[in-house]
Amino acid sequence: MSLISLSAFDLAIAASLVLLVALLQWRMRLGNTQALLIAGLRTVVQLLLLGLVLKIVFAASDLYWITLMSIVMLLAAGREVMVRQKRQFIGSWGFLLGTSSMFVSAFSVTLLALLVIVQPDPWYLPQYSIPLLGMLLGNTLNGITLGLDNLTRSVWEKRIIIDGRLALGETWGSAISGIRRDSIRVGMIPIINAMSVAGLVSLPGMMTGQILSGTPPVEAVKYQILIMFLIAAGTGLGTITAIVIGCRRLFDDRERLRLDRLR
Amino acid sequence: MADLVISNLRSQVPGLVVQRLAALNLCLHGAEITGLNGPSGSGKSLLLRAIADLDPSMGEVSLADCSRTSMPAHEWRKRVAYLPTESGWWFETVGEHFLQTDIASLQKLGFEADVLSWKITRISSGEKQRLALVRSLSREPEALLLDEPTAALDESHTLNVEQLVSDYMKQRNAPVFWVSHDPGQLNRLTRFIINIQPDGSIREQVR
């Protein structure tokens, strides 16, 4: 079975569906029209560029190119985490918190998968390393964004409670414990949902892609299980790192709640 | 020596411009209430928060010759309790907020023991204010910073609160700093009042 090639017209039909939703939002004054259209446009431009870049990187299969591309992906993900927050940490923290958490989690899990589990030859073979890193970054980005947004929003809304607990002599860790637990839980919700319904309700994207391009289903399933576990580990590590550091940053050395460190 | 000694204290909340307020030098004696009043927005709460080390501040504060910098901040706040006007409640029932229940104090403020099972969503602002005081006292602080502790209360409850605080303070030899807008209340409770003037200067008044 060979892959059925898509024409520009095929994509245009799909695009018109998105336009229909945008039109509905606009007519019903639901807002968000612009965000949808921009995101759709970004998908087209970014993926087309990626197709071109991947063509070059695959042909070169050079560690420096792959490293460079990984760094660009990481920085883009870090920026995305930052701008998705309603209340960001001010200064370089806003960018570095998400970026370093993703570096710690997504990069280490990808390296482990390449060096120990999949073991392509060479280990950085771009056909494996780039999609793996991409899927891990994309999913940890989701978890970290949701978790951090929940953290900063809750702390803002519950500042009187946190402050009151501090005034009663509680440690900063105890004063924020509930919010910290909730934020990590919120960050993990998407991957837990995805693992719970995988195969029952949804056919995960990567497996679908492999099956469409002719891989035997059982092989595709094995890869999908691997990916799911890697994503769960990456999201968990990344979310926990970001939330733990973020919580600490909200208090100073005298355990005072410092909302002035949020925008 | 249970004195709360404040020297050159000035709140330094980032981004806030109430900095006309002069630095505070004061000694609060044990078993004595010191009054604090001044116009709204003059920085009374900021002053109490600075003493409790809840906001960044300049200056020194010590209790019974122990500087606040000599201990972790939460330890300091356990000893020097700040009671904000608006109290925070985070569990579902009243009782969960108490480390140890103090039925006698609850009864002095007009509650029965069953108040501990009340749902937080159903208690009024006056009830919250009285419960918050008992909650603070039940953690056995050595000094009290009370920010308008009777603002939401009617007269009989106000007198009960005054009595409870007086009893606690005498029993523990604890200094008390009491913010109030009610001159009558300060006259009842204190012989020494700190007035914050509209221009930010601080005037001491001995009656």
Same domain, A68 and A1: no
Q: Which chain B residues contact residue A170 at CB under 8 A? A: 74
- Give phi and psi for A29, each to the nearest 5: 55, 45
Q: What is the pLDDT of residues A17-35, one digit of tens each?
A: 999 999 999 999 887 888 8
Instruction: Give A140→chain B minimum CA distance, Å.
Output: 30
Same domain, A46 and A167: no
pLDDT of residue A200: 83
Q: Which of A60, A86, A106 is the last residue of a domain?
A: A60
- Average pLDDT of the segment spanning B60-84: 96
pLDDT confidence of residue B1: 55
pLDDT at B17 over 90: no
A169 and B14: CB-CB below 8 Å? no
Contact B73 A162 (CB under 8 A): no
3-class secondary-structure state, position A57: helix
Residue-wise pLDDT for A163-207, tens only, equals: 999 999 999 999 999 999 999 999 999 999 999 998 888 788 888
Q: Spell out the domains of chain B, with CATH numbers in brackets.
A: 4-206 (3.40.50.300)
- How far apart, in whole angstroms, are the C-alpha atoms of residue A107 and residue A157? 34
Give chain A's domain count. 2
- Single pTM value for the model: 0.88
Look at residue B162 in the predicted model and tell me its pLDDT: 96
With an 8 Å Cβ cutoff, is A263 touching chain B?
no
**B19: pLDDT confidence band, cut at 50, 70 and 90?**
low
Q: Give the pLDDT confidence of B84-116 residue by residue, as tens digits.
A: 999 999 999 999 999 988 899 999 999 998 999
B88 to A158: CB separation less than 8 angstroms, yes or no = yes
* pLDDT (tens digit per residue) in B126-156: 999 999 999 999 999 999 999 999 999 999 9
- Tell me the DSSP string of B91-111: SSBSGGG-SS--HHHHHHTT-
- Cβ distance of A256 and B53 shorter than 8 Å: yes
CA distance A127 to A47: 16
Any CB–CB contact under 8 A between A182 and chain B?
no
Query: ipTM beyond 0.90?
Result: yes
Residue-by-residue pLDDT tens, chain A, 263 positions:
567 888 999 999 999 999 999 999 999 988 788 889 999 999 999 999 999 999 998 898 889 999 999 999 999 999 999 988 889 999 899 899 999 999 999 999 999 999 999 999 899 999 999 999 999 999 999 999 999 999 999 999 999 999 999 999 999 999 999 999 999 999 999 999 999 998 888 788 888 888 888 889 999 999 999 999 999 999 999 999 999 999 999 999 999 999 999 98
Tell me the chain A residues in contact with residue B90 when contact means C-beta distances shorter than 8 Å. Answer: 158, 161, 165, 178
Q: Which residues of B touch A255 (CB under 8 A)?
A: 72-74
Of B55, B86, B88, the CB nearest to A256: B55
Structural domain for A24, as ranges: 1-60
Is A164 within 8 Å of B54 when comparing Cβ atoms? Answer: no
Domain end call among A35, A60, A85? A60
Residue A181, SS3? helix
